């Protein structure tokens, strides 16, 4: 486990051990932080994040690399949307690390049996296959908790196909909070993750950004239909946005800048 020094008054972008119930602006359980005093509501709405937890589903070599099992099995043309979303996921991840230090980050990694899926054998069966492809990510199967990062291994589409300890940690981190779900693939593990959160946690809201999820090209219509249903409110407590940037403005640094200007 990665242990780092923390305090409530001076939290770095790499560390925040007091996780549960804390908003991206530093407030807790809906209470205003001292940073918010005398800041107009309109200014706060533009500067604050509406995300408390970001869950990355399968940002792994076997899905996101052209040399991975998924692409080798289905071909680069069919997997083009998945390969393309890698850059957006990396940008989102770096934004969280640099601008939103109190947003919890959960990395969900699939580890499968070689014959688990007939159409795509050997998917995520080796350390290379389930290697996390987010630059400078500090967690993996050997270092599962580090600062505001948590690493979870799942053995099926559901991210609750994990250990009891990991399941309890997910439920604790997500309780009464706004959750951004991103990753691959939209029509499979991402969709199941949304259902997991709605059915098995007490999260306030699940957020999905169209530019931070992807599926195979052949599943474009299914993906559009699913996102459309969520966007129309077919699933209570789910919101769909076009871009993750709409949900994550400058967070901490933005609020501090407003303070300087007011």
> Using an 8 Å Cβ cutoff, are 12 and 157 in contact?
no
Cβ within 8 Å of residue 83, ≥6 positions away: 64, 65, 66, 71, 76
Residue 108, in any domain of the structure: yes
Pairing of strands 145-146, 149-154: antiparallel
Q: What is the pLDDT of residues 14-65, one digit of tens each?
A: 343 344 433 333 344 444 443 333 433 333 333 344 899 999 999 999 999 9
Q: What is the pLDDT of residues 170-219, one digit of tens each?
A: 999 999 999 999 999 999 999 999 999 999 999 999 999 999 999 999 99
Band (2; pLDDT cuts 50, 70, 90): low
In terms of DSSP H, where are the helices of 53-207? Answer: 61-64, 69-74, 76-99, 164-174, 191-200
Residue 5, in any domain of the structure: no
Find the CATH number of the domain harbouring 152. 3.40.50.850
Collapsed DSSP state (helix, strand, coil) of residue 186: helix
**Burial class for 9, CB neighbours closer than 10 Å (0-12, 13-18, 19+):** exposed
Band (4; pLDDT cuts 50, 70, 90): very low
Closest CA to 144 of 108, 180, 93: 108
Q: Which domain holds residue 159?
A: 49-261
The total domain count for the chain is 1
Gap between the Cα atoms of 57 and 26, Å rounded = 26
Band (233; pLDDT cuts 50, 70, 90): confident
Residue 7, in any domain of the structure: no
Residue 1, in any domain of the structure: no
**How far separated are the first and last CA of the chain, in Å rounded?**
41
Residue 234, in any domain of the structure: yes
Angle (CA) 215 62 135, round 5°? 95
Gap between the Cα atoms of 186 and 7, Å rounded = 37
Residue 18, in any domain of the structure: no
- DSSP state for residue 140 in the 8-state scheme: B
Residue 26, in any domain of the structure: no
């Amino acid at each position: 486990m990665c242990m780092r020094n923390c305090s409530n008054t001076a939290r770095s972008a790499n560390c925040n051990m007091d996780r549960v119930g804390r908003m991206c602006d530093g407030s807790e359980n809906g209470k205003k932080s001292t940073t918010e005093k005398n800041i107009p509501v309109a200014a706060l709405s533009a500067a604050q994040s509406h995300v408390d937890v970001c869950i990355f589903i399968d940002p792994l070599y076997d899905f996101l690399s052209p040399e991975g099992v998924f692409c080798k099995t289905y071909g680069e043309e069919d997997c083009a949307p998945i390969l393309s979303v890698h850059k957006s996921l990396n940008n989102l991840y770096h934004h969280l690390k640099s601008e939103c230090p109190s947003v919890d980050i959960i990395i969900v990694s699939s580890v499968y049996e070689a014959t688990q899926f007939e159409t795509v054998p050997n998917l995520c069966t080796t350390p290379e296959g389930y290697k996390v492809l987010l630059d400078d990510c500090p967690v993996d199967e050997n270092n599962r908790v580090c600062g505001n990062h948590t690493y979870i291994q799942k053995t099926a589409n559901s991210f609750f196909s994990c250990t009891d300890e990991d399941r309890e940690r997910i439920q604790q981190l997500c309780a009464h909070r706004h959750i951004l779900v991103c990753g691959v693939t939209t029509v499979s593990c991402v969709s199941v993750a949304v259902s997991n959160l709605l059915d098995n946690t007490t999260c306030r809201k699940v957020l999905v950004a169209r530019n931070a999820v992807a599926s195979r090209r052949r599943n474009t219509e299914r993906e559009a239909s699913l996102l459309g249903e969520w966007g129309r409110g077919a699933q209570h407590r789910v919101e769909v946005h076009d871009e993750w940037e709409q949900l994550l403005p400058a967070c901490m640094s933005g609020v501090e800048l407003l303070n300087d200007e007011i």
